[in-house]
Structures are given as C-alpha cells and as structure tokens.
Chains A and B, each alone.
With several copies, the nearest count.
Chain A
C-alpha cells in the first residue's frame, strides 16, 4: 500500500541533496574538526560553510552567533538553563513563558521551578495567541527571560513575536524563541523579531535528526550546558557531528531557496483539505488560527472519537498523521496546547494534527478526503458519546 505521510511537524525525510552532501563525511572526510592535520582541516572547513548557511537562513549578522547542538530540545534547554543559571543570584530568577510551549521549554522551566526559579505562564486566546498586555503585566524587576515560541507545533499558530521583541528590549529582558517549527517554513529574521536566543532543529526541515542550532546574539552571555573541550568557541563541548552539521547547513540553504514555492504549494493544499473536511464531516472543529498559521499545519477535533483510535485507523488506510505532538502520544495526557486554547478534554482527545510537506500532492489530499469521513464514521458508530448525541437529536432535544 502506498503511504501518505502527513506528519511533517513530527519529522521529515532527509532531502536527497542533503543526504548526498552528508555522505562524504562518514568515510573519506571523517576527521575530527579539532584535529590539526589535514583530516581535521577538511572537517573544520565543512563546519564553517554550514554555519554560514544557517546564519543566512535566519538573518544572523555573523556565523559566530550560531552554535550547533544535538537538536531543538538541547537548544531549548541550553537557552533557558543557560540564561537562568548565569543570571541567578545576580539579576533575578523570574521567567515568563507562553502556555503552549513545546515540552522542551515547558519541562525545563518546570525543572527550574523545583530548583527555586519562578515561572509565569501567560494566557492565550482561543487561537493560541498571547496577549501583549498580559505579557507587560507579567514582567517584574526580577524577570530575566521571556520565552515565547514562534509557531506552535500542534496547531500551527504564529505569535506576534516582533511585538514581544520590542517589549523585551524596552525592559532589558532576554528573549528566547523556540523557532523549531517556523525556521525554514516562513520568513524569519532574528533582528526583525528582536530575539536574543533562537532554537532550531534540522530534522524538521529535511535535515538529519540529532542536530540543531542555537542562535546566541552577539554579546549575550549565558552558561554552557555541556562542558568539556573548547568546541564551538567554548560554548558547546563535544566532538562536532560533522555530517549532521553539513546536513543542517545544506537543509538551511535549500529551505531558503525553496521557501516561497513551498509556502504557496502547502497553503493551497491545506486550504483544500480544510474546506473538504469541513464540508464532508459533521461535528468537527478547526484548532489554531485560521490565517496566522504555518502554511503546512492543520489541526482538527473530531468530536465523539478518540485521537489514537483515529490515527491508527488512518494508518491502516496508509495515511500517517498524529495526535497533537508526537512527544506526548506515548502518554495519556490530553495536549496542554489544546487545553490552553480552551478545548474541553473530551474534545481535545479527539484531535488530529495534519502537517504537510514539500512532496505531498493534490492527489494525496483527494485520497485523504475520500477516506477520512468513513474512518470517522466507523469510530463514531461504536462511540457511546455519539450514540447519546444522536439519541438526543432524534428526541428533538438539540
């Protein structure tokens, strides 16, 4: 059976050109970039090129502002703990985050909370957008960091980050953004956004897993997370993952070049899908902002059915989607993002994220539109909640 992959916010396949760029660094050019001899120099040069490619993609003014990490999670941990630990005892211990952050931000803050830091969660509206007044009100003298994600991984909503940047700058507070889902998908410039720290991850943009980057604005001093050798100008120890770094560089270059074309393609496919779903299926809600959203991301709640049952059923039909974020699918918690935008838990449990990628076609969307209604109907036919609802409808109670 042909499979249709619609889970690109979880991860993406490595772009063939990215893979081709990486391969030489496993065998022929396998040197340790810290080595003085020729193998080392070859590796060092490859890293230099990649660093410029990443800097280009996000508009950093110098490649020295980019450090390579093992992924988005490490970048988030590094930015937040690095700031917290370097500022603690000096300026203060208060951190402000949005309530829809990825667990890499949220759980890091929770950990810090246990160790004496104070964390304020902002509010969001029904689309998942933070309120700037609420942010201003939350700021204290002891606030050392604001962390607001650029685009949400579950519902795709894009934050008014440039406005947050202005407030942070005015108040002299560091601003971190988890841009793992927006980098490479929508135009983004660290200066326009006014961020001091920005996390990104290669495997969301057709690069390899296990490699990411943290942008650290020149002059921003934060503690290291990994201590050891003098790698990355003493900011991140560990033998550089050369093939990974080369892959992230190449993926960044391609993302920049193809961004406009991909955006249009993805927007038109998702709009078609959204319209089709809302036409074909009853009791469905779209989650996230209808316009201020990532071009590839849709999120729906199908009432009276449970999400895992729905995605398993779709998987049997060759359609790969996910419930909320992939990281929580092993757990039974309803998504904290859907809770934050006000979805009642029983409806949140029936939510599905559909995230498209560059290779998806209109044909595939047509297949989804043909398949999805019958899959939902099959599950509703065994749902006691649906039965009750239909009974009420028949009794004229609704």
Chain B
C-alpha cells in the first residue's frame, strides 16, 4: 500500500546511483546500444564485449535521472558472464526487482535499460550479419510526459 504514494528510491538504487558499476566505453565492442532521447532527458549507451557467445564485459554511459543511472549500472552487472541467449531473458522487470523496486513514475527508466541491452545485442548480431532474434520493447509511452497519463485528474 505504502509504495503507491512513495516516490523514493530504495537503498539498492541509491547504492548503484552513487557508485555505478561499469561506467565507460569499451574500446572495441561487440555491440553497442544507443537508446533514449535527449529531449526527454534520457540517453543510455550500452557496450558489450562478447567472446564465444558469452558476454565478458559490459559498460555504459548514461545521461538521465537517478533511476536511469542505477538501472544502467545494474543491467551491465547482470549481463556479465551470461551467454547472449541468457542475456536476452533480462527484462525491465528483472532489473527493477534486482534493484529492490522503483517508484511507479520511474518504471520507464528500467524499460530504457532493457531497450539499451537488447539494442546492443541486436547490434552484435547485425555486425556478424546474423539474423537477430531480438525484439526491442517499445516504451509504452510515446511522449516524455509519463506521469500525468498514469494518474488521476
């Protein structure tokens, strides 16, 4: 009940926001995903290094809110050591859960992290000229302004 009115971040989110893991670029990446829109205040750029079908490294650069930075950090942590197929199982829900939840108004930031990951994997397939099995999820909302539409007037 309480969380419905809560617009606060969990301790886990704040940890990843203050000490984000895997910030930076990979010099010679296997795939790069670049999603978001500066007009809406968020851009996420995710780099993966794939060796023998396994993601051995992941890095990110993000322009965005606290949740965007924390989910970027979390998603890069989660993919490392996974096979590409396993990585495709990661969704905005699993990222959010790993962070101990996100305020309702910040859910779309976790969608962004899923998009960034999938688009990096997509890029990995394309660079290899392989058909991509990836379905990049659409952010359900077209406009930047997400809060209003969800709530009562």
Which A positions have Cβ atoms within 8 angstroms of B?
A: 41, 44-45, 47-48, 51-52, 62-64, 221, 223-224, 230, 233-235, 304-309, 312-313, 316, 330-334, 344-346, 349, 381-387
Contacts and interface: CB of A to CB of B under 8 A. Distances in A.
Size band of the B side of the interface? 35 or more
B7 interface: yes
Interface in B14-42: 14, 17-18, 20, 23-25, 34, 38-42
A233 B147 CA distance: 10
DSSP class of A's interface residues: helix, strand, loop or mixed? helix
Contact of B65 (A306, A316, A333, A345): A306
B138 interface: no
A316 B11 CA distance: 13
A384 B45 contact: yes
Contact of B66 (A221, A309, A331, A334): A309
Contact of B62 (A44, A52, A345, A383): A383
B152 A235 contact: yes
Contact of B5 (A47, A309, A346, A387): A47
B64 A306 contact: yes
Contact of B105 (A47, A48, A309, A332): A332
| A233, A234, A309: residue with the most chain B Cβ atoms closer than 10 Å | A309
B6 interface: yes
Interface of B: 1-2, 4-9, 14, 17-18, 20, 23-25, 34, 38-45, 60-66, 68-69, 105, 144-148, 151-153
Given A306-B65, A382-B61, A44 B43 contact: no
Contact of B18 (A51, A316, A344): A316
B61 A52 contact: no
Nearest to A63: B1
A258 B8 CA distance: 34
